[in-house]
Amino acid sequence: MGPIGEHYKWSHGYFSFPKLEGEIAPHMNFRGKEHLVWSLNNYLGLANHPEVRKADEQGAADFGMAYPMGARMMSGNSKYHEQLEQELAAFVGKEDAFVLNYGYQGMVSIIDALVDRNDVVVYDGESHACIIDGLRLHMGKRFVYKHNNIEDCKKQLERATKLAEQTGGGILVITEGVFGMSGAQGKLKEIIDLKKDFNFRILIDDAHGFGTMGPTGAGTHEAQNCIEGIDVYFGTFAKSMAGIGGFVASTEELTNYFRYNLRSQTYAKALPMPMVIGLLKRLELLKNNPELREKLWLIATTLQKGLRDRGFDLGVTDTVVTPVFLKGELLEATALTMDLRENYGIFCSIVVYPVIPKGMIELRLIPTAAHSLEDVQRTLDAFSEVAEKLKNGNYKEAKIPVT
């Protein structure tokens, strides 16, 4: 079953494949009980925004779920897809953009299209799985640098340069705008500065930065004031936009290259019209309602300050992603999470080895604009109590029932 599925007989339906029911909101039902949920990437609270719901419904009423039929290149294009691309490109500061059916699948295909066997890839050691899977398709050489370590990135660029001189290929550097597990920003400006000494393109996965970072929410490249230095920008609709799909933005020339060479789009049906119509409304709200992003950051900063004031380790996060690191073994992590859910009514994601080192527990909280300060206070009080139980060894002899 592999490292994730090997425990499925007792974890399925509780820790893996849980069913959250009711309206998408900070408070949902889990196994028949109300829970305060910190596991939804609904950053701006758009999932159930009345204008979004209305746009989604109108799109379905006007076009149905099947329209347009076929892949974009063949028979599945529309003026609305193109309008969305134009608006996205302008928002993130690029000449053009191409809408993708799925974010994960799109990133895999972007990497596959950008590099061939003669090219060399240099990438961050904590890159998302979609990047890793894209690299698995790469038939050339790749070098990984230590997470956010610019000196090691420079070292790997030196190795890549020597190899590229032999193969006649180019170099692609890949990192993330916001790393979804740690909340750390990728060191975009520092990497771009390396262009003074090395010849490469940089591709960033800004799934968690699009809509949350920067003065207008355009992304982490805006937050770090380095829009021009990013050659290829990737964003997803599954987080701040509370939808599905993604987009890639770059120069007009390179974006057109993607249009004709991304296999995951060329051979797949176009994004359904109701989603496209709904995404146009989501983007409008994202751009014109800065109070949504301000509320998100109020919740995030209040939560993070409260946790740090109580002695919790949040690592290096400087974004809204809020990881809480504790010391404990797998059994303790499991019992603590069950205690939070069963006795405190708090639902959050748990991360253990092999994603993080043995002996560590990560509870990952995703603040949203839909949360309240009362939700934050309830969570702070609950975390203080379970941390004390963990410290006192209360979870060492816990009995984990088969679910």
Per-residue burial over 216-231, b if 16 or more Cβ lie within 10 Å, else e, is: bbbbbbbbbebbeebb
Confidence of residue 50 (pLDDT cuts 50, 70, 90): very high
Longest dimension (CA), the chain: 64
Quote the pLDDT of residue 210: 98
Per-residue burial over 120-157, b if 16 or more Cβ lie within 10 Å, else e, is: bbbbbebbbebbeebbeebebbbbbbebbeeebbbebb
Quote the pLDDT of residue 7: 56
What's the mean pLDDT in 347-355? 85
Confidence of residue 14 (pLDDT cuts 50, 70, 90): confident
The secondary structure element, H or E, covering residue 55 is: helix 50-63
* Residue 287: closest CA among 93, 77, 41, 25: 93
Confidence of residue 127 (pLDDT cuts 50, 70, 90): very high
Asked whether the predicted pLDDT for residue 57 surpasses 80, the reply is yes
The values of phi and psi at residue 331, to 5°, are -60, -40
What's the mean pLDDT in 33-42? 97
Quote the pLDDT of residue 72: 92
What's the mean pLDDT in 61-70? 94
The secondary structure element, H or E, covering residue 99 is: strand 96-100
Strands 232-236 and 246-250, by their bridges, are antiparallel
Asked whether the predicted pLDDT for residue 205 surpasses 80, the reply is yes
d(CA 298, CA 180): 19
What's the mean pLDDT in 133-143? 92
- CA count, 13 A, side-chain hemisphere, 144: 10
DSSP characters over 342-366: HHS-EE-EEE-TTTS-TTEEEEEE-
Tokens (6 digits) for 314: 């949040």
Tokens (6 digits) for 234: 């990737």
Confidence of residue 402 (pLDDT cuts 50, 70, 90): very low
Better pLDDT: 339 or 400:
339
What's the mean pLDDT in 214-238? 97
What's the mean pLDDT in 231-237? 98
d(CA 281, CA 240): 13
d(CA 388, CA 279): 44
Helix axes 373-391, 290-309, angle to 10 degrees: 30
Sheet with 20-21, strands from edge to edge, namely: 20-21, 27-30, 33-37, 346-347
Q: What domains appear along the chain, each with residue ranges and CATH number? A: 2-37+290-391 (3.90.1150.10), 50-288 (3.40.640.10)
pTM, 2 dp: 0.94
pLDDT tens track for 257-301: 999 999 999 999 999 999 999 999 999 999 999 999 999 999 999
Give the mean pLDDT of the chain: 94
Alpha-carbon torsion 46, 48, 50, 51, what sign? positive
**Percentage of residues of the chain with pLDDT beyond 70:** 96
Better pLDDT: 96 or 351:
96
Query: How far, rounded to the nearest angstrom, does the alpha carbon of residue 361 sit from its chain's CA centroid?
Result: 20
Confidence of residue 399 (pLDDT cuts 50, 70, 90): low
Which pairs from 137-145 meet CB under 8 Å and 24+ separation?
A: 137/108, 137/111, 137/112, 138/111, 138/112, 140/115, 140/116, 140/167, 140/169
Asked whether the predicted pLDDT for residue 403 surpasses 60, the reply is no
**Percentage of residues of the chain with pLDDT beyond 90:** 88
Confidence of residue 330 (pLDDT cuts 50, 70, 90): confident
226, 189 contact by CB (below 8 A): yes
Sheet with 360-365, strands from edge to edge, namely: 322-327, 360-365, 349-351
Quote the pLDDT of residue 357: 82
